[in-house]
Structure 1
Amino acid sequence: MGKYFTLFAGIVLLFAGCTRDNRMYYSYNYMGFKPIYASSGTLKDLIRTTSAKPLSETGKIYVKGNLLLVNKPFSGVHVIDNTDPSKPLNKAFLEIPGNIDVAMKGNFLYADYAGKIAVIDVSDMDHPRITQSVELDTKYQQYPPQADMTNRWSSRTYFECPDPAKGVVVGWLYTNLKSPKCWKNQ
């Protein structure tokens, strides 16, 4: 009888250590970022001039004559007429999906967008045209905008892992995520 009790107790203790990993079987909801996708084939067609948009989340600022070019990360570039500095006029918005950074030299605006670099001739700001688009050799992991990550209560920022099969990431939406698999520590 003692042998069976010892064997039974050993088996119970053995299986007591074999618990399921709760993270695999339970889902949790977190506030985080969901990628916004666009087809890589249509990105060049999406770069265009639209009507002026209100300034928010601004980035770099460039001066071209009487114009100010103000970058808005993941969206594009604001075109502001600064002929009268006391009354700047928001003239237009150059949409560049997935744009994070811009640089300017002469009449050319260099803008990254979704793993590519676009060279845009802005000599006629009413009709900018893409002169060249070059794909970058390196693939990079895109993260939600850093400015949006620093204001959260947690030291860990959750986001939905980008899926290259869905297209390229051109922006991020802050929303409720179910069991996100990607995160970044601040």
Structure 2
Amino acid sequence: MKKLLFTLFSLLIFTVVLNSCWTPRQDDDFVPIPNNYTPVIISRTELENSVEALPPQNVIQSGKIYIKDNFMFINEVNKGFHVYNYSNPQDPVKIGFIKIPGATDLAIRNNIIYINQAVDLVTLTYNQTNNSISVSNRNRNVFPTKVSPQGFEANVNENMIVIGWTPLN
């Protein structure tokens, strides 16, 4: 019985000591963090009509890299994917650019390309012969809305989509 009382008393003292270390801040001590980014917003219609195959582009801000068979895809963050012929890894050759605003990642299975486009999951088929693509499916609102690098959300209308964030300078 003495051990139980000693344990409970020790736990009480321990709780009081720890609680005194974690005092909540007063409201007047609160300093709001400013949002140093502004959202890049386009309409749902513009988002859905923005996917296209373009000639090769220069890489400006690279993201993830994906290699499938003789192809290498390099993400241009929130802009699309650079497509390379990767049959010779020592000398990859640019063959095109898939413009898909808001995209940051892709996966390929059975020669079907799956890309996140902001909040949507887009399924593409790619014709390497003439460097063309076609959207074969679009699942709307699969992913959460993009937040700023500081964790802020944009307040946008229902038919508007955040495809990225740019720093305020």
The two structures have a TM-score, normalised by structure 1, of 0.63
Q: Summarize the Cα distance change of 1:137–1:56 in structure 2 as closer, same or farther, 3 Å threshold.
A: closer
Shift of 1:164: 2.1
Alignment partner, residue 164 of structure 2: 171
Shift of 1:76: 1.0
Q: Summarize the Cα distance change of 1:137–1:60 in structure 2 as closer, same or farther, 3 Å threshold.
A: closer
Shift of 1:103: 1.1
DSSP-derived class of the 1:122 partner: strand
Instruction: Give the aligned residue type for 2:154.
Output: P
Shift of 1:68: 0.7
Higher relative contact order (CA 8 A, sep 6+): 1
Equivalents in 1 of 2:87, 2:124: separation in Å? 23
Shift of 1:112: 1.1
Given that 2:146 and 2:163 are in contact with CA atoms closer than 8 Å, whether structure 1 keeps it comes out as no
The two structures have a TM-score, normalised by structure 2, of 0.69
Gaps of 5+ in 2: 1-27
Alignment partner, residue 129 of structure 1: 134
Given that 2:119 and 2:145 are in contact with CA atoms closer than 8 Å, whether structure 1 keeps it comes out as no
Deviations 1:132-162 (A, max 9, x none): 0111357x34213xxxx4xxxxxxx386x41
Given that 2:80 and 2:100 are in contact with CA atoms closer than 8 Å, whether structure 1 keeps it comes out as yes
Shift of 1:31: 7.3
Q: In the alignment, which of 113, 119, 123 is matched to residue 117 of structure 2?
A: 113
Shift of 1:81: 1.6
Shift of 1:54: 2.0
Shift of 1:106: 1.7
Given that 2:64 and 2:104 are in contact with CA atoms closer than 8 Å, whether structure 1 keeps it comes out as no
Equivalents in 2 of 1:78, 1:137: separation in Å? 24
Gaps of 5+ in 1: 1-20, 24-29, 150-156, 177-186
Alignment partner, residue 3 of structure 1: none
Instruction: Give the aligned residue type for 1:172.
Output: W
- Note if 1:61 corresponds to 2:70: no
Q: Summarize the Cα distance change of 1:143–1:51 in structure 2 as closer, same or farther, 3 Å threshold.
A: same
Equivalents in 1 of 2:121, 2:100: separation in Å? 11
Deviations 1:100-131 (A, max 9, x none): 22111121110111211100012436011110
Q: How many pairs does the alignment contain?
A: 138
Shift of 1:64: 3.0
Alignment partner, residue 49 of structure 2: 45
DSSP-derived class of the 1:164 partner: coil
